[in-house]
Structure 1
């Protein structure tokens, strides 16, 4: 059985939309002030869609299954040397 762990949205995280109509849209969380997160649109689903603008999204929308947290890349140990 697969268990999903939902982390609370926090500044600095990137979240991806999982709805097939919005596949490819990602948001970068800038601030969280319950009950909303304030984010910048990084990528969009439309070929000429707007990116870089700020949006307000309900925390329930982020954690309710409509979005997934995008894992942060793990720094390469070789780069740190």
Structure 2
């Protein structure tokens, strides 16, 4: 049996991060707080700049910010918003 290889299935984390720029994302911090908004940019240290940002604590909206900057060492994960 031959193994088939597909290049589209071998997407790197860097490819994913490039593909979500300008889209709505959820950024989960180590503290458990979520930030939801549009990913403006990020760097190699996972420092994140967001626009139209909302802060959620325990699933409840706590604050709204225009622009926000999150230090990368606080980030647990980043994902596309549903």
TM-score scaled by length of structure 1 = 0.44
TM-score scaled by length of structure 2 = 0.44
**CA radius of gyration, larger in:** 2
